Amino acid sequence: MFFAGLAFWQGGEGNFWGHNAIIRVAAFAAHCGLPRLPGKEPFGGEILSHDFVEAGLLRRAGWETWLAPELRGSYEEIPPTLIDYAKRDRRWCQGNLQHFRLIFARHFHPLTRLHLAMGVMSYLSSPLWLLFVAVAGLQAYIESRAEPVYFFGENLHPLWPVSYAVEMSTVLLVTLSMLFVPKLLALVALASDEWRRRSHGGLARAALSTLLESAFSVLSAPVLMLFQTKFVWAILLNRHIGWPPQRRQDRRTGLGEALGAHAWHTLVGLAAGVLAYRYVPDFFWWATPVLLGLVVSIPLSMWSSRSDVGLRARTAGLFLTPQERDPPRVLRLLEQHLAQAHQTAVQPGAAGAWAAAVRDPFVHALHLAILPERATSRRERYHAEGLATQVLEQGTDGLSRPEARALLCDPRALRWLHGELWAAGPGAPEHAPDVPAHRRAEATA
């Protein structure tokens, strides 16, 4: 529903996401060369959030960019934990704040400027929200300590305190409407479509899923607010983040990691809650949703990172998507190929990718090129070196699957083993599978 509405009002002046885009390659190559912003990072240098800028450049050159919400079959996994999500958000924050300089660039379409401004405000809204809560709490404290004066000077009539209950209630209702009415409209649209209703587990389960998702959003929003406020503050202090790699594999947040990331959130929530309850009890109850999300940030982060919780929810029919109930062909093929790759990649004794990464120069170089950089302990390095020596003496058949994986994940030991095998001559490693003749000749040349 969100993307359908977005496509309706922006028309041909839309944006795209680089991983979910069908583009005219010639037009993109001709007009979307990203400039290097003058000055130093974080506001200068390379543009970190590029998609909206490229859409604006296409529109400036006379092309249109349309959002197609009805297209399917495009997927990207989000980071698996709240902490990883925040790490990605840090780069996006810097990239979107860079757009403030581009809002006033020449020849951009007005809607492009609006998109860029909305991207900037998507992160500036967090420190503004924090400031709003702090000022509201301070104002509530001042009013709770003020003594009302009904007669002032020579006035014969009492001066009644001015009430802003209507205005505050209006602000609250408008805010709640903006947050929850789209969810209710989506449920109405879901109820009117039998196929969608079944694909999402039925109307009752979809409604319960919406309720649970809303509760999680309410609790996690204050945590993200403090994260983004910290990011904005760091960027204003000229601290550059660059483009760090993202984690997308399933993993669980441990207690130590959660404490390191969320301890200060918990302390802020507890301190603010104690002060509000002691000095301004009425304000405390209004601020409960914000304070509760901060106080429970550690268990919330740990619990939401558990894939088994999501699997149990899927078994219960909650948070279902049509792609889960009836996976499209592209996902089924992906699962098949991943299963086949897992069986052959590290299968001891198989003349497949595992052995080729040790022996074949081309596969070896490709494997090292895509192997992610990671810190290894001294014990891990010694273990990998011992495995490399074992392969040199006994061949690949002597390694178990975990041992083969450990060796493949250590570029240093793998390079040494590869060099030793080729230095010993083509026929020396008896148990390592030979390389095709044409590749052996090319590598020797």
Position 434 confidence tier, pLDDT thresholds 50, 70, 90: very low
349: Cβ–Cβ under 8 A, 6 or more apart, which residues? Answer: 396, 397
Of all residues in the chain, the percent with pLDDT exceeding 70 is 87
Q: Give the range among 25-34, 157-166, 281-290 with minimum mean pLDDT.
A: 157-166
Mean predicted lDDT score pLDDT of the chain: 83
Pairwise pLDDT comparison (203 vs 146), residue with the higher score = 203
Position 4 confidence tier, pLDDT thresholds 50, 70, 90: confident
pLDDT tens for each residue of 129-143: 999 999 989 988 888
Position 259 confidence tier, pLDDT thresholds 50, 70, 90: very high
Q: Give the range among 23-37, 219-233, 267-281, 380-394 with minimum mean pLDDT.
A: 380-394
pLDDT above 60: residue 436: no
Q: Give the range among 52-56, 75-79, 89-93, 182-186 with minimum mean pLDDT.
A: 75-79
pLDDT tens for each residue of 403-421: 888 888 888 888 888 888 8
The torsion region of residue 24 among left (phi > 0), alpha (psi -120 to 50) and beta comes to beta
pTM of the model: 0.71
Give the C-alpha distances (Å, rounded to integers) separating 378 from 381, 383, 410, 411, 417. 5, 9, 12, 14, 18
The torsion region of residue 247 among left (phi > 0), alpha (psi -120 to 50) and beta comes to beta
> Region 154-179: what's the mean pLDDT?
79
The pLDDT score that the predictor gives to residue 295 is 96
The upper half-sphere exposure of residue 361, i.e. CA atoms within 13 Å in the direction of its Cβ, equals 15
pLDDT above 50: residue 338: yes
pLDDT tens for each residue of 341-378: 666 554 544 445 677 788 888 888 888 888 877 777 78
The pLDDT score that the predictor gives to residue 355 is 74
pLDDT above 90: residue 442: no
Local structure of residue 373 (DSSP, 8 states): P
**DSSP structure string for 210-238:** HHHHHHHHHHHHHHHHHHHHHHHHHHHTT
Position 77 confidence tier, pLDDT thresholds 50, 70, 90: confident
Q: How many CB atoms lie within 10 A of CB 133?
A: 18
**DSSP structure string for 77-141:** PPPSSHHHHHHHHHHHHHHHHHGGGTTT-TT--HHHHHHHHHHHHHHHHHHHHHHHHHHHHHHHH
Pairwise pLDDT comparison (53 vs 161), residue with the higher score = 53
